Amino acid sequence: MKKVPFVTKEQLDEIVKKYPTPFHLYDEKGIRKNVKALKEAFSWNPGYKEYFAVKATPNPFLIQILREYGCGYDCSSYTELMLSDAVGAEAGDIMFSSNDTPAEDFVLADKLGAIINLDDITHIEFLERAIGHIPETISCRYNPGGLFKISNDIMDNPGDAKYGMTTEQMTEAFKTLKAKGAKEFGIHAFLASNTVTNDYYPMLAKVLFEEAVKLKEETGAHIKFINLSGGIGIPYTPDQEPNDIFAIGEGVRKVYEEVLVPAGMGDVAIYTELGRYMLGPYGLLVTRAIHEKHTHKEYIGVDACAANLMRPAIYGAYHHITVMGKEDQPCDHKYDITGSLCENNDKFAIDRMLPKIDIGDLLVIHDAGAHGFSMGYNYNGKLRSAEVLLKEDGSTQLIRRAETPNDYFATFDCFEIGKKLLK
């Protein structure tokens, strides 16, 4: 298989005249098509709602596109709550799923009418102290422990994760919360990351649905919703088959009919918190080859670095690279594609077979639409780059300007040295 960018060489040549590389480019048409498919796949459930994982791509322009389709916001921090509020979140639009949570975060979440998802049983008392009450609608995060397997394949290791409550703690938490005034309950779990299989969500749903039935029987709690969280991945490599969201939705529906409906729980709403699936394939990191180096290996230096996309550096993650205008040329040159950080892991690709790259060539790094810009940082004094939206009509819109040295030095503004640095 072959990964094809959503932008042509001719389009990109015009775009870079307006926005200097590097920058992240997002595909409005693809984003809209994808969210429509997701909603249709789960339309069998009247209460279904997608709470977009803000952490994946915290840009208000992109979030507002998803909001047009009824998406809510999955937040995990104070500033993500602020961002969601600024783009028009109303009561019930925010799912606040955090861990090791500061009191002020709970206070703001409660003020905004967010559904609070507790990560630990000790957070019940902490939350009550922070906001002065227990909300009538509340959720708890579940971690069954052990390994999460599909057939004989280990998908992830929940037992080694810091998130969520044990089976016994869930029962105790529901009883305690109910005694303190909670009336509507939710269950949430995230047991595997970036799965490229249509079986993950149905398997996760079965675990959560069975836990919901058990909790209802043991505590008498009314389960209002079950949140399948994220975990639906994307095919980063060209040989991977993408998930079929309609097969996934149908798989969850079957388990719903098998487990919840017979237990008299056919009114439970299904929630999701997708980030990578929603935006990952619809973002490219656009960069330009500016150096070549011939030593023990062949290197191509580009003007982007790990500050723009960390995943290859910290995870060894694969991101496909297209040399624009050379898509049909043979991949007969082996390169390391590097950034300029003073770290040897600042490489977008290692021993990657690509067409011959010349200085000035534009490269696009695929699947950077989620956990790309958002994971950026300022090591080496690197400045975060711009974000640009490729609109449905082919025009472009700047949706985040590039940082300047003034942004980098802004936190010195209260000191004398700031006068020399800020201009």
Cite the beta strand spans of 101-239 per DSSP E. Answer: 115-118, 137-141, 148-150, 153-156, 184-188, 222-227
- Chain length of the chain: 423
Strands (E), 39-122: 49-53, 72-75, 94-97, 115-118
Alpha carbon separation from 252 to 248, 269, 323 (Å, rounded): 6, 12, 40
The Cα–Cα gap between 93 and 91 comes to: 6
Classify residue 133 as left (phi > 0), alpha (psi -120 to 50) or beta: beta
Q: CA Rg, the chain, in Å?
A: 23
| Beta bridge partners of residue 115, listed in sequence order | 95
Three-class HEC string of 149-186? EECCEEEECHHHCCCCECHHHHHHHHHHHHHCCCCEEE
Q: Is 305 a catalytic residue?
A: no
Distance CA 183, CA 124 (A): 15
71, 305, 331, 342: the catalytic one is 342
Residue owning tokens 């630990």: 120
Query: Mind telling me the catalytic residues?
Result: 342
